[in-house]
Amino acid sequence: MGRGRVELKRIENKINRQVTFAKRRNGLLKKAYELSVLCDAEVALIIFSTRGKLYEFCSCTSGMLKTLERYQKCSYGAVEVNKPSKELEQSSYREYLKLKARFESLQRTQRNLLGEDLGPLNTKDLEQLERQLDSSLKHVRSTKTQFMLDQLSDLQNKEQMLVETNRGLAMKVTLYKQPCISITFGRLPYYGLLFYLIDMLCVFLF
């Protein structure tokens, strides 16, 4: 008897949904690998879980980026086929220049934060850099202070536990050293009186 068709719908139980995701994900990654090996195909697979975790597979030795670039050319190249090639080149070159300028700006900022290449900066730039450094320093100090406070609180808790333990041990030692009957002062301590009554009861019974 054949297996019944499983209705495709969202699994409501969270644990069952996670287990199913893990099984199907592994199966899909395996199939993608087998397809790339058996058919010598260039395969790229991207999976995001509900928590946003990335799982990927790419058969291309050059990496996922090369495959995505190839996909972009195939998918969007036809849309721009009517545009003059020179216009496309100019657009790509402008985009490249923007990215290059952004990258160089980030590199300069990084060097400035390390105290390097400060010569070209004017007073306004130096003041802005100083504010950035002050903000970063405050954040570091705040994190360090919080860490030290957490450590201090931990040590205080441990100290309190040791004090309680020592107090309990001291009480046990004091009770152990008490005599069963205190004749000198004409009184019976609690535990001494208890032991005395037990002894008297044993005499009467036996």
Residue 64: exposed, middle, or buried by beta-carbon count in 10 A (0-12, 13-18, 19+)? middle
Condensed to tens digits (0 to 9), the pLDDT of residues 160-182 reads: 888 888 887 777 767 666 554 44
Find the helix or strand (DSSP H, E) in which 48 lies.
strand 44-48
Q: What is the pLDDT of residues 39-90, one digit of tens each?
A: 999 999 999 888 888 889 999 888 888 888 888 888 766 555 555 566 767 7
Residue range 14-81, CATH number = 3.40.1810.10
pLDDT for res 200: 55
**What pLDDT is stored for residue 182 in this prediction?**
45
> Does residue 202 register a pLDDT over 80?
no
- Helix, strand, or coil here: 182? strand
Q: How many CB atoms lie within 10 A of CB 112?
A: 19
pLDDT-derived band at 186, boundaries 50, 70, 90: very low
d(CA 36, CA 43): 6
Alpha carbons 51 and 54: distance in angstroms, whole number:
9
Percent with pLDDT over 70 in the chain: 75
Helices (H), 6-84: 14-38, 64-76
Report the half-sphere exposure of 179 (CA within 13 A, side-chain side): 8
Please write the tens of the pLDDT for every residue from 120-131: 778 888 888 888
Residue with tokens 């954040």: 139
Q: What is the mean pLDDT of residues 144-166?
A: 86
| Listed residue (64, 49, 62) closest to 18, CA to CA | 49
| Domains of the chain by residue range | 14-81, 83-120, 122-161
- Identity at 150, one-letter amino acid code: D
Neighbours of 34 (CB within 10 A): 11
Burial class (CB in 10 A: 0-12, 13-18, 19+), 121: middle
